[in-house]
Amino acid sequence: MATVTFEKAQRWYPGADKPAVPGISLEIGDGEFMVLVGPSGCGKSTTLRMLAGLEEVNQGKIYIGDRDITDMPPKDRDIAMVFQNYALYPHMSVADNMGFALKMAKVPVEERKKRVQEAARILQLEDYLERKPKALSGGQRQRVAMGRAIVRQPQVFCMDEPLSNLDAKMRVATRTDIAKLQADLGVTTVYVTHDQVEAMTMGDRVAVMNLGELMQVDTPLGLYDKPKNLFVAGFIGSPQMNLLEAKAADGQAKIGGYLVPVDPAASKKMQGNITVGVRPESWRIVSANEGGLPINVTVVEELGADSFVYGTCDVEGTPSNVIVRVSARDSVHKGDVIYVTTDPKDVHVFDTETGSRLSD
């Protein structure tokens, strides 16, 4: 097993006016499941491909354990890659696909068979070893691609959006399988996705990226509870956090004529234009005379135990949509007007200009 260290690793594509990844510094622990997440074009796949040796590192260093692999050929890095499109050989059986890298490495036949059988057992593919990829479902093909990585017994797994070709139900089942498999094998894993739900449910830690830069690296709960800046606050969470423009006035956050209760630690730092963030589940419905924020309900998404209420508010500073999570037993309907408030401890405060967090 091994740690992975990026030291100001930069990738600048020829002809580009700025680097895709200006210089990333990140430490990934031995056996850790690290997820790189961010919108399209944020540099997450480029970062992974630099680690795998598929992209040149223009400046900086990358280490696996104590080895400097920055200029090392991909085959010598002891990394196994799982691609988005499976990359299976259509004319080979499942067993041959899984054992191909071992065959190229001239691993003895008996050892090869043993490793393939063990990987097939772990991935529940034992009944499919003689089939061709075209006879498998998308989820089974992805497990074959995983098996091909496992048999190599690498120091690091690199996974580039491996679930993006699966349907919604299969994605949920397969992401659980991958997380359990990684925990059982204990192999250091770097996983790229644009799906923040996938990132939150799978990673030991999550690195949020934007425009090639690391915005925040933390546990999933750390990102959710204490986003470092406005970008992370808006990106992490489904549905996303309500971000409301406000003005600091005497230690309070003022949205039009409505005062948002703010934690005292944040109120001391507030001045000028600020943005307050409230998670959908942090709102609570109050009566009209309690002075809550009025929401005109436009859509109610019923999800069984809970409902998401989408509405508009004519108070200056509120976005076009305010999202409130309520119990499905709360009788809220399209066309209603509800009043909501929240607790100071559940309000995130950011400097609108810099985007940085002001709350503790």
Q: Order of strands across the sheet with 273-278?
A: 258-260, 252-255, 242-249, 273-278, 347-351
> pTM of the full predicted structure?
0.89
DSSP one-letter code for 96: H
Q: Which two tokens stand for residue 4?
A: 């992975």
- pLDDT higher than 90, residue 316: no
Q: How confident is the model at residue 56 (pLDDT cuts 50, 70, 90)?
A: very high
For 301-313, write each residue's pLDDT tens digit.
998 889 999 999 8
Query: 77-95: per-residue pLDDT in tens?
Result: 999 998 888 888 999 999 9
Letter for the amino acid at 119?
A
Question: Residue 1 has what pLDDT?
Answer: 62
**CATH architecture of the domain with residue range 240-351:** Beta Barrel (2.40)
Q: Tokens 């498999």 appear where? A: 181
| Nearest alpha carbon to residue 131 among 86, 90, 101 | 90
**What tokens were used for 108?**
């003895």
Q: Mind listing the pLDDT tens digit for each residue in 222-249? A: 999 999 999 999 999 989 999 999 898 8
Q: Where along the chain do its domains lie? A: 4-230, 240-351
Percentage above 90 pLDDT, the chain: 58
Q: Is 234 exposed, middle or buried (0-12, 13-18, 19+ CB in 10 A)?
A: middle
pLDDT per residue as tens digits for the range 144-155: 988 888 898 899
State the Cα–Cα distance between residues 25 and 6, nearest whole angstrom: 5
Tell me which architecture the domain covering 4-230 has in CATH.
3-Layer(aba) Sandwich (3.40)
